[in-house]
Amino acid sequence: MLGRSVDYPDCYAPELLQAIDRREGRRVIGLSDHDTLPFVGADDWTCYELSWLDESGKPRVAIGELHIPCNSPRTVESKSLKLYLNSLNEHRFATHEMLTKTVETDLREVCSAEVTFSLYSVEAYTKKGLANPRGVSLDEQRMQRVESEPKPDILSCADEAETVEEELYSHLFKSRCPVTNQPDWASISISYRGKPIDHASLLGYLVSYRHHQAFHEQCLEQIFIDIQRRCLPESLTVLARFTRRGGLDINPWRSTEKMAPGFIRQGRQ
């Protein structure tokens, strides 16, 4: 509500961090607790609102990149991470390395995994620049109807066609936060090798998430699993670049390949 006061911490408070168990979201898409994950990947966060005090009390700012592996049993809830990062604003760190180590230690405790955190000056991060997704846009494909919830059977591919390699993307993805019901916007990139996936059916499937309530990572994993089960690609990588909220953007990727997708920060980020 406009004008409503929000309490922000004024001292270092790692207890603010809240974990999200990945198991519940994976059960929904048919992955049991005992299954070997059919993908590798990570959730790569960008932390734009990051500040602390140096040893003399002078404020410092930076942009942080947080890397949480997808095989971690838990991830971190985004609002709790925002509040935690704000709790660093008045805390003194003698060196950048001490700040980095503190954040990594606290997030590793929450996620029970080897989380990494990297700092960039504003100047250094600016040099990384913006880029468009690679490949072919799906966004001008004609659609006859828009489903209100994801339906995997929308997806189709050519059974007798030769194997192809394609990189496809769409900026039209939207889902809803399961906690606040606010919209979550993203660009989705899909790279695969296998039978040709019908582009119109793929766009229809992605757009069907518009009213779906799930966390970023859960949406991305469902997209991966549905394409894998319906289209049987030989290899598959799915990447989502979500727009930021509260100074954070979350960019999960899942793949059958061990190599991570290259860095692509997009215009809406």
Give me the catalytic one of 44, 106, 184, 226.
184
Q: Quote the radius of gyration of the chain (alpha carbons, Å).
A: 20
225's tokens: 């699993």
Q: Which residues contact 14 (CB under 8 A, 6 or more apart)?
A: 84, 87, 106, 109
269's tokens: 């980020």
| 177 among known catalytic residues | yes
**Scanning the structure block, which residue is given the tokens 């509040």?**
83
- Given the DSSP bridges, would you call strands 19-21 and 235-242 parallel, antiparallel or unpaired? unpaired
| 249 among known catalytic residues | no
End-to-end CA distance of the chain: give it in Å, rounded.
Answer: 25
Half-sphere exposure of 260 (CA within 13 A, CB side): 15
Amino acid at position 8, single letter? Y
221's tokens: 């994993």
Q: How far apart are CA 249 and CA 174, in angstroms?
A: 14
Q: Which residues contact 7 (CB under 8 A, 6 or more apart)?
A: none
Task: Tell me which residue of 130, 141, 211 sits closest to 170, measured CA to CA.
Answer: 141
**Scanning the structure block, which residue is given the tokens 């894998």?**
228
Q: Which helix (H) or strand (E) holds 123?
A: helix 122-128
SS3 state of residue 141: coil
- Given the DSSP bridges, would you call strands 19-21 and 74-76 parallel, antiparallel or unpaired? antiparallel
Q: Which sequence positions are flagged as catalytic?
A: 177, 184
